[in-house]
């Protein structure tokens, strides 16, 4: 029985044995790969931990009141006599700029996505997609500069408003910034609709337009919703463009020609002046926590919607 | 029975057919105009910026230092500072991002733990840039005691670009056909040997394109660096290629644009425009080269 094992194996038939060093090196590399894989979780937790750690001491300050922080419009962080930290005006500023931006960006974004996905030929499609990719690459500070110079002059000329940096300006700039992401995600959603749906509709004598709004839009609606949500996420989190384009008044806007300030722009504008460790500094970190949680919810929701589409 | 006297080509359009065709033409025109609205005004805006920047746009502007309280002169320290930040942050983010993508695409099974990693990547990509700034300030500047320095700013930028590098690398790895890997496993290669010999060589172009696209993103960001290591002004000698130490603060092009556009009074009018044009053009140039590279490689692909 042992004959097989005893038989001498010719030298060239033996598998080349890898050295111990090579094996250990491979194990070590795989360890690094696994660790890098976990790094994303570590970083998200670290962001929450460090931002919250700097915000935490504010809860022990007697000048701070969480209800007032969320629902008061009085933001006087540097007042000598009566310091008040109410972020409602800033929240309303963020929400109104985002809403206005979405009112402009969503129709245009969906329209362009439909045109790219359904109407144009392959050459035009390729070049439009490249242009959209380039649009998405324009830095936010350049958008802010465009808002500050070109757009504000145009707004003053057209509407006769006293200042050109206002809610309308910020809305238009944010719309231009979030259109690329809306277009590319909704184009993906439209592409995910099976061609057999289109063929079935066209075979029944529907025109392309009928096919789009009776068949395509209803079956792609989850993906389109996710696209809009990602656009909202981008608009809420945008900092430099709104800092430069919306003016600097902490107030609840009464018309679209009023200046506003958003949560993000407020942090960027005041963090440099707030001494480290002061109440003001901690409050700014607390608004950061608020923003982090807000975008967390928006992103997770849109991811679940996209995943639901894929599973179908 | 087919009516011979009324063959199909003499079919007359009823008014319903005419109406639906009118809607069809109208909708097509509308969507074309909508796509146009996204692009045409922007071309005008860029032309406007370049027109106003022309008096300052020359080689001197690029290599000269800012003079008279940044009201005149060039942008050299800001330009070289941006270069520092981009190179260091990508040197940190690229290896981690590529390894993380290899883990997620080649090693990870579909279980709850790896789904959490995916959610973390998606969430990291959506964190607002100003929150990254707060994190960088809290973690690197104060907790890690790096102070306001290039290293703090680069680390903050690295964490910001990481999720996008992971996503683009995964896409590139995913494009390598499964049969390539199976063939390699069948000659008794281990997982890592397969990755090194088969998967990486076949996807390196896609990985590189993704990383190049992040160059422009890192160069354009302002918020994450303005509280972690970038200053308004730093004296640097003209044309100096290595003016900064890693534990010092530096200037950056994006921050410089913000400064001259909003903080400095009586700037020579063309200077902020020229700064914007230089920033915009360098970012677009990097992106265009990445796109050209991608198209060229796609056409060369053998499978």
Task: Report pLDDT digits (tens) over A56-84.
Answer: 888 887 777 788 778 877 788 777 777 88
Q: CA of A33, closest CA in chain B: separation in Å?
A: 5
Pairwise CB contact (< 8 Å): A207 & B122: no
Query: Of 1.10.1740.10, 3.40.50.2300, 1.10.3720.10, 3.40.1160.10, which CATH number belongs to B76-255?
Result: 1.10.3720.10
CB nearest A37 (choices: B24, B103, B193)? B103
pLDDT of residue A1: 43
A127 inside 8 A of chain B by CB: no
Q: How many residues does chain A have?
A: 312
Cα–Cα distance for residue pair B261/A240, rounded to 1 Å: 12
Residue with tokens 């979780």: A41
Contact (Cβ atoms closer than 8 angstroms) between residue A63 and residue A74: no
Pairwise CB contact (< 8 Å): A144 & B258: yes
φ, ψ for residue B250, nearest 5 deg = -140, 175
pLDDT of residue A311: 60
Pairwise CB contact (< 8 Å): B258 & A284: no
Residues in A touching B166 (Cβ below 8 Å) = 40
A142 inside 8 A of chain B by CB: yes
DSSP A75: E
Q: CA of A105, closest CA in chain B: separation in Å?
A: 9
Residues in B touching A236 (Cβ below 8 Å) = 128
Cα–Cα distance for residue pair B246/B252, rounded to 1 Å: 14
CB atoms within 10 A of CB A257: 18
Q: Which residue of A has its CA nearest to B133?
A: A268
Residues in B touching A124 (Cβ below 8 Å) = none
Residue with the bigger pLDDT between B40 and A13: it is: B40
What tokens were used for B124? 């990291």
Helix A122-137 and helix B15-53, axial crossing angle in degrees, nearest 10: 40
Comparing C-alpha atoms, which of B194, B165, B10 is closest to residue B93? B165
Pairwise CB contact (< 8 Å): B99 & A32: yes
pLDDT of residue B132: 92
> Which of A14, A17, A109, A142 is best to mutate for the B interface (most B CBs within 10 A)?
A142
Pairwise CB contact (< 8 Å): B262 & A148: yes
Cα–Cα distance for residue pair A281/B301, rounded to 1 Å: 54
> What are the sequence ranges of the domains in chain B?
76-255
Radius of gyration from C-alpha coordinates of chain B: 26
Task: Report pLDDT digits (tens) over B179-216.
Answer: 999 998 898 888 888 998 889 988 888 898 889 888 88
Q: Report how far apart, in Å, the C-alpha atoms of A95 and of each of A70, A148, A179 are.
A: 14, 21, 18
Q: CA of B192, closest CA in chain A: separation in Å?
A: 7
Pairwise CB contact (< 8 Å): A40 & B124: yes
CB nearest B31 (choices: A114, A239, A276)? A114
Q: Is the pLDDT of residue A8 over 70?
A: no
pLDDT of residue B1: 47
Residue with the bigger pLDDT between A5 and B302: it is: B302
Cα–Cα distance for residue pair B77/B67, rounded to 1 Å: 12
Cα–Cα distance for residue pair B117/A202, rounded to 1 Å: 42
pLDDT of residue B65: 75
Pairwise CB contact (< 8 Å): A133 & B291: yes
A 55-114 → B contacts, CB under 8 A: 107-108, 111-112, 114
Residues in B touching A30 (Cβ below 8 Å) = 107, 191-192
Q: CA of B167, closest CA in chain A: separation in Å?
A: 12
Q: Is the pLDDT of residue A4 over 60?
A: no
DSSP-derived 3-state class of residue A84: strand
A 151-180 → B contacts, CB under 8 A: 176, 179
Q: Is the pLDDT of residue B8 over 60?
A: no
Q: Is the pLDDT of residue A164 over 90?
A: no
Give the residue-averaged pLDDT of B259-274.
83
What tokens were used for A232? 């909202």
High-pLDDT (> 70) share of chain B, %: 95
Contact (Cβ atoms closer than 8 angstroms) between residue B131 and residue A38: no
Contact (Cβ atoms closer than 8 angstroms) between residue B74 and residue B63: yes
DSSP string, chain B: ---TTS-GGGPPPPHHHHHHHHHHHHHHHHHHHHHHHHHHHHHHHHHHHHHHHGGG-SHHHHHSPEETTTTEE--HHHHHHHHHHHHHHHHHHHHHHHHHHHIIIII--SSHHHHHHHHHHHHHHHS-HHHHHHHHIIIIIIIS---SSHHHHHHHHHHHHHHHHHHHHHHHHHTS-HHHHHHHHHTT--HHHHIIIIIHHHHHHHHHHHHHHHHHHHHH--HHHHTTTB-S-----TT-SS---TTS-B--HHHHHHIIIIISTT--THHHHHHHHHHHHHHHHHHHHHHHHHHHHHHH---
Average model confidence (pLDDT) for chain B?
85
Cα–Cα distance for residue pair B134/B132, rounded to 1 Å: 5
Task: Report pLDDT digits (tens) over A201-221.
Answer: 999 988 888 899 899 999 888
Cα–Cα distance for residue pair B19/A134, rounded to 1 Å: 38
> What are the sequence ranges of the domains in chain A?
91-311
Residue with the bigger pLDDT between B65 and B25: it is: B25
Q: Is the pLDDT of residue B102 over 60?
A: yes
Segment among A11-20, A114-123, B64-73, B159-168 with least mean pLDDT:
A11-20
Instruction: Give ipTM to 2 decimals.
Output: 0.87
CB atoms within 10 A of CB B127: 26
Q: CA of B30, closest CA in chain A: separation in Å?
A: 8
Fold (topology level) of A91-311: MetI-like fold (1.10.3720)
Helix A279-311 and helix A221-237, axial crossing angle in degrees, nearest 10: 160
Cα–Cα distance for residue pair A85/A68, rounded to 1 Å: 7
Q: CA of A74, closest CA in chain B: separation in Å?
A: 22
Give the residue-averaged pLDDT of B47-72.
80
> Which of B11, B38, B125, B192 is best to mutate for the A interface (most A CBs within 10 A)?
B38
pLDDT of residue B153: 92
Contact (Cβ atoms closer than 8 angstroms) between residue B169 and residue B97: yes
pLDDT of residue B159: 92
Burial class for B50, CB neighbours closer than 10 Å (0-12, 13-18, 19+): middle
Max CA pair span of chain B: 93
Pairwise CB contact (< 8 Å): A54 & B132: no
Please report which confidence band the pLDDT of residue B100 belongs to, taking 50, 70 and 90 as the band edges. Answer: very high
What tokens were used for A19? 């050295």
CB nearest A295 (choices: B24, B127, B188)? B127
> Which of B123, B209, B274, B286 is best to mutate for the A interface (most A CBs within 10 A)?
B123
Q: Is the pLDDT of residue B294 over 80?
A: yes
> Which of A44, A49, A57, A141 is best to mutate for the B interface (most B CBs within 10 A)?
A141
> CB pairs below 8 Å between A and B: how many?
257
Q: Is the pLDDT of residue A114 over 50?
A: yes
Please report which confidence band the pLDDT of residue B302 belongs to, taking 50, 70 and 90 as the band edges. Answer: low
Q: CA of B46, closest CA in chain A: separation in Å?
A: 9
């Amino acid at each position: 029985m042992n004959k097989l094992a005893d038989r001498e194996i010719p030298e060239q038939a033996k598998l080349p044995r890898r050295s111990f060093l090579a094996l250990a090196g491979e194990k070590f590399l795989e360890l690094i790969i696994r660790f890098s894989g976990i790094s994303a979780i570590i970083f998200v937790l670290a962001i929450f931990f460090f931002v919250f750690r700097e915000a935490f001491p504010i809860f022990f300050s007697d000048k701070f009141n969480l209800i007032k922080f969320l629902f008061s419009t009085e933001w006087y962080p540097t007042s000598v006599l009566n310091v008040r930290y109410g972020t409602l005006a800033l929240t309303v500023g963020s929400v109104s700029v985002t809403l206005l931006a979405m009112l402009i960006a969503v129709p245009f974004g969906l329209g362009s996505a439909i045109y790219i996905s359904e109407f144009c030929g392959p050459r035009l499609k390729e070049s439009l997609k490249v242009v959209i990719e380039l649009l998405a690459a324009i830095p936010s500070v350049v958008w802010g500069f465009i808002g500050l110079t070109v757009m504000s002059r145009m707004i003053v000329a057209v509407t006769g408003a006293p200042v050109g940096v206002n809610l309308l300006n910020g809305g238009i700039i944010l719309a231009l910034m979030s259109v690329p992401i809306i277009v590319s995600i909704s184009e993906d959603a439209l592409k995910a609709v099976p061609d057999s749906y289109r063929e079935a509709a066209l075979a029944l004598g529907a025109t392309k337009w009928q096919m789009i709004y009776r068949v395509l839009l209803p079956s792609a609606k989850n993906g389109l919703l996710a696209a809009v949500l990602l656009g909202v996420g981008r608009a809420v989190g945008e900092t430099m463009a709104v800092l430069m384009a919306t003016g600097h008044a902490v107030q609840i806007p009464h018309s679209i020609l009023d200046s506003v300030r958003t949560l993000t722009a407020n942090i960027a504008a005041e963090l440099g002046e707030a001494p480290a460790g002061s109440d003001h500094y901690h409050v700014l970190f607390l608004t950061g926590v608020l923003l982090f949680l807000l975008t967390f919810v928006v992103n997770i929701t849109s991811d679940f919607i996209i995943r639901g589409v894929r599973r179908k | 029975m087919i009516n011979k006297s009324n063959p199909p080509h003499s079919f007359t359009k009823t008014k319903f057919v005419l109406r639906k065709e009118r809607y069809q033409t109208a909708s097509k025109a509308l969507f074309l105009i909508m796509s146009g609205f996204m692009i045409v005004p922007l071309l005008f805006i860029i032309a406007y910026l370049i027109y106003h920047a022309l008096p300052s746009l020359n080689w001197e502007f690029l290599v000269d230092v800012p003079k008279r309280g940044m009201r005149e002169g060039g942008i050299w320290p800001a330009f070289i500072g941006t270069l520092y930040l981009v190179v260091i942050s990508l040197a940190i983010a690229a290896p981690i991002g590529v390894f993380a993508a290899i883990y997620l695409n080649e090693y990870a099974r579909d279980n709850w733990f790896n789904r959490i990693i995916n959610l973390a990547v998606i969430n990291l990509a959506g964190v607002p840039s100003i929150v990254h700034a707060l994190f960088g300030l809290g973690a690197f500047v104060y907790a890690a005691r790096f102070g306001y320095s290039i290293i703090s700013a680069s680390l903050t930028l690295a964490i910001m670009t990481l999720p996008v590098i992971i996503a683009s690398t995964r896409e590139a790895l995913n494009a390598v056909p499964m049969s390539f890997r199976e063939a390699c496993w069948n000659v008794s290669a281990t997982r890592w040997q397969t990755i090194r010999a088969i998967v990486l060589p076949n996807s390196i172009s896609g990985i590189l394109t993704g990383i190049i696209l992040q160059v422009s993103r890192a160069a354009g960001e302002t918020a994450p660096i303005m509280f972690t290591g970038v200053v308004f002004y730093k004296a640097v000698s003209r044309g100096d290629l290595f003016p900064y130490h890693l534990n010092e603060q530096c200037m950056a092009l994006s921050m410089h644009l913000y400064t001259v556009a909003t903080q400095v009074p009586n700037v020579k009018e063309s200077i902020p425009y020229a700064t914007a044009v230089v920033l915009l053009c360098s970012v677009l140039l990097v992106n265009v080269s990445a796109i050209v590279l991608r198209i060229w490689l796609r056409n060369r692909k053998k499978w």
